[in-house]
Structure 1
Amino acid sequence: MSKVAAVFTPEGQLAKAIEGFQPRDAQLTMAQAIEKSIRKKSTLVVEAETGTGKTFAYLAPVLQAKGKAIISTGTKALQEQLYHRDLPTLRAALAPEKVIALLKGRSNYLCTHRLEQAQLQASQFNSETQTKLVKVKRWSTQTRDGDIGELVVLQDDPQLTALVTSTKDNCLGRECPNYDDCYLVKARDEAKQADVVVVNHHLFFADLAIKDTGFGEIIPESDTVVFDEAHQVPDIASQYFGDSLSSRQLIEIADEVQRLCLTELKDLSQAAQMARILTQVVRDWRLQFPSDPTRGNWRDKRDDAAMTEVCSRVAEKLTLFIDVIKTARGRHKEMDSLIERAEEAYDLWQQLMQTDQTGYSFWFETTVRHIVLHQTPLSVAKRFGNLVKHSDRGWVFTSATLSVNEKFDYFVNRLGLWDAETLVLASPFDFANQAMLCLPRYLPPANQFNRDQHLAELAQQCIEANQGGTFLLFTSHSMLKRVAALLDEKIDRPILVQGEGSKRSILQKFTDAGNAVLLGTSSFWEGVDVRGAALRCVIIDKLPFASPDDPLLNARVEDAKLRGVDAFHTIQLPEAIIALKQGAGRLIRDQRDSGVLLVCDDRLVTRQYGARFIKSLPPMSRTRDLSRAMLFLKDTYNETNATSH
Structure 2
Amino acid sequence: MSDPTPIFADDGPLAAAIPGFRARTQQIEMAQKIAEALRENRVLVAEAGTGTGKTFAYLVPALLAGGKVILSTGTKTLQDQLFNRDLPTVRAALKVPVSIALLKGRANYVCHYHLERNARDGRFLTAQDAADLRAITRFAQVTQTGDKAECTDVREDSPAWIAATSTRDNCLGQDCPFKEECFVMQARRNAMEADVVVVNHHLFFADVMLRDEGMGELLPACNAVIFDEAHQLPETASLFFGDSVSTAQVLELARDTRSETVAAARDCVAMIDQTRNLEKAARDLRLVFGTESARISAAQAAERENFDAMVEALDKALTDFHAVLATQAERSEGLGNCLRRTEEMAERLANWRKPEEKDLIRWVEVFTQSLALNATPLHVSDVFKRQLEGHPRAWIFTSATLAVGKADFGHYCREMGLAWMDPPPLTAVWGSPFDYAEQALLYAPAGMPEPNSPDYTERVAKVALPLIRAARGRTFVLCTSLRAMRRIHELILDGLAHSGDELPVLLQGEGSRTELLERFRRLGNAVLVASQSFWEGVDVPGDALSLVVIDKLPFAPPDDPVLAARVEHMQKQGLSPFVHHQLPKTVINMKQGAGRLIRTERDRGVLCICDPRMIEKSYGKVVWRSLPPMRRTRAEAEAVAFLENLPPPRRGG
Is TM-score (shorter-chain normalized) higher than 0.5? yes
Aligned to 2:444: 439
- Higher mean alpha-carbon deviation, 494-503 vs 619-628, is at 494-503
Three-state SS of the structure 2 residue aligned to 1:386 is: helix
The amino acid that maps onto 2:489 is A
1:174-210 deviation digits (Å, cap 9, x = unpaired): 2111111111111111111111111000000012453
Verify: 1:423 aligned to 2:428, yes or no. Answer: yes
Corresponding residue number in structure 2 for 1:569: 579
For the residue of structure 2 that corresponds to 1:397, the secondary structure is: strand
Corresponding position: 1:560 with 2:565: no
**1:54 to 1:209, Cα distance in 2 relative to 1, 3 A:** closer
User: Are 2:586 and 1:585 aligned?
Assistant: no
Does 2:637 align with 1:627? yes
Q: Structure 2 CA distance, aligned partners of 1:275 and 1:504?
A: 37
Question: Is residue 537 from structure 1 mapped to residue 547 from structure 2 by the alignment?
Answer: yes
Distance 1:453 1:356, change over 3 A: farther
Paired position in structure 2 for 1:602: 612
Aligned residues of 1:471 and 1:518 also touching (Cα < 8 A): yes
Q: Using a 3 Å threshold, how does the CA distance of structure 1 residues 292 and 157 change in structure 2: closer, same or farther?
A: farther
Report deviation, 1:217.
2.0
Is 1:523 matched up with 2:533? yes
Q: Does 1:460 align with 2:461?
A: no
Residues 571-602 of structure 1, C-alpha deviations (whole Å, 9 max, x = no match) = 10000011000000001111111100000100
Match of 1:74 in 2: 74
**Cα distance in 2 for residues equivalent to 1:136 and 1:323:** 36
- Opposite residue 578 of structure 1, the aligned amino acid is I
Deviations 1:367-398 (A, max 9, x none): 22111121111112122123213321111000
Structure 1 window deviating more from structure 2 (219-228 vs 161-170): it is: 161-170
Q: Supply the distance in 1 between the matched residues of 2:153 and 2:322 (Cα, whole angstroms).
A: 36
Check the 8 A contact 2:173/2:179 in 1, yes or no: yes
Deviation of the 1:635 alpha carbon: 2.1
1:471 has 2:472 as partner: no
C-alpha distance in 2 between matches for 1:68 and 1:246: 37
1:197 alignment partner, SS class: strand
2:40 aligns with 40
The answer (yes or no) to whether the contact 2:135–2:154 under 8 Å persists in 1 is: no
Q: Which residue of 2 aligns with 1:56?
A: 56
The aligned counterpart of 1:413 is 414
TM-score, normalising length: structure 1: 0.96
Secondary structure of residue in 2 paired with 1:215 = coil
1:407-449, CA deviations, whole angstroms, 9 ceiling, x for partnerless residues? 1000001111132110011111111111110110122221122
Q: Distance in 2 between matches of 1:170 and 1:132?
A: 21
Q: Distance in 2 between matches of 1:399 and 1:123?
A: 45
Secondary structure class of the residue paired with 1:11: coil
**Aligned pairs (5 A) from 1:45-444:** 45-123=45-123, 125-152=125-152, 154-155=154-155, 157=157, 159-210=159-210, 212-354=212-354, 357-405=357-405, 406-418=407-419, 419-444=424-449
Name the CA distance, whole Å, in 2 between partners of 1:386 and 1:260: 41
User: Counterpart of 1:190 in structure 2: which amino acid?
Assistant: N
1:626: Cα distance to partner? 1.2
Contact 1:285/1:310, CA 8 A, preserved across alignment: yes
Give the percent of matched residue pairs that are identical in Structure 1 and Structure 2: 42
Q: 1:337 to 1:211 in 2, by over 3 A?
A: farther
CA displacement at 1:153 relative to structure 2: 5.9
User: Is 2:149–2:156's contact at 8 Å kept on the other side of the alignment?
Assistant: no
Q: Which runs of 5+ in 1 are unaligned?
A: none
Residue 347 of structure 2 aligns to a residue whose secondary structure is helix
Q: Aligned partner of 1:474: which letter?
A: C
Give the secondary-structure state (helix, strand or coil) at the position aligned to 1:129. Answer: helix
Using the TM superposition, give the Cα deviation of residue 131 of structure 1 relative to its aligned residue in structure 2, in angstroms. Answer: 2.1
Rounded to whole Å, the distance in 1 between the matches of 2:303 and 2:149 is 42
User: CA, structure 1 residues 223+504, in 2 after alignment: closer, same or farther (shift >3 Å)?
Assistant: same
What is the letter of the counterpart of residue 183 of structure 1?
F
Give the C-alpha shift of residue 249 in structure 1: 1.2
Q: Which stretches in structure 2 are left out of the alignment for 5+ residues?
A: 497-501
CA drift at 1:451: 2.4
Question: Which one-letter code corresponds to 1:572 in the other structure?
Answer: Q
The CA distance in 2 between the partners of 1:209 and 1:242, in whole Å, is 13
* 1-structure distance, mates of 2:199, 2:446: 45
Report which stretch shifted further, 155-164 or 407-416. 155-164
Could you tell me how far apart the structure 1 residues matched to 2:600 and 2:38 are?
30
**1:618 is aligned to 2:619:** no
TM-score (norm 2): 0.95
1:498 matches 2:508: yes
**Which moves more between the two structures, 117-126 or 430-439?**
117-126
Question: Residue type of the partner of 1:127?
Answer: A
Task: Single out whichever of 142-151 and 547-556 deviates more from structure 2.
Answer: 142-151
* CA deviation profile, 1:64-101 (whole Å, cap 9, x unmatched): 11101000000011001111111111000114411111
SS at 2:216 equivalent? helix
Q: Is 364-373 or 395-404 further displaced after alignment?
A: 364-373
Distance 1:617 1:352 in 2: 41
Superposition RMSD in Å: 1.7
Task: Identify the range of structure 1 (147-156 vs 603-612) with the bigger mean alpha-carbon deviation.
Answer: 147-156
In the TM superposition, residue 305 of structure 1 has moved relative to its aligned partner by 4.1
TM-superposed deviation, 1:150: 2.8
Does structure 1 residue 550 correspond to structure 2 residue 560?
yes
Q: Deviations over 1:5-60 (max 9, x none)?
A: 11011111111111111121110110000001111011100000101110000000
**How far apart in 2 are the matches of 1:194 and 1:407?**
36
**Is the 1:540–1:599 contact (alpha carbons within 8 Å) kept by the matching residues of 2?**
yes
Q: C-alpha distance in 2, partners of 1:345/1:432?
A: 56
Q: Which moved more, 1:267-276 or 1:114-123?
A: 114-123
CA distance in 2, matches of 1:621, 1:426: 16
2:145–2:187 contact (8 Å) kept in structure 1:
yes
The CA deviation at 1:281 is 1.4
Pairwise CA distance, 1:456: 2.1
Name the residue aligned to 2:499.
none
On the 8 A contact 2:133/2:161 being kept in 1, the answer is no
SS in 1 for 2:395: strand
Residue 300 of structure 1 deviates from its aligned partner by 2.2
| CA pair 103-340 structure 1, distance change in 2 beyond 3 A | same
Distance 2:488 2:124 in 1: 41
What is the distance in 2 between the residues matched to 1:524 and 1:108?
22
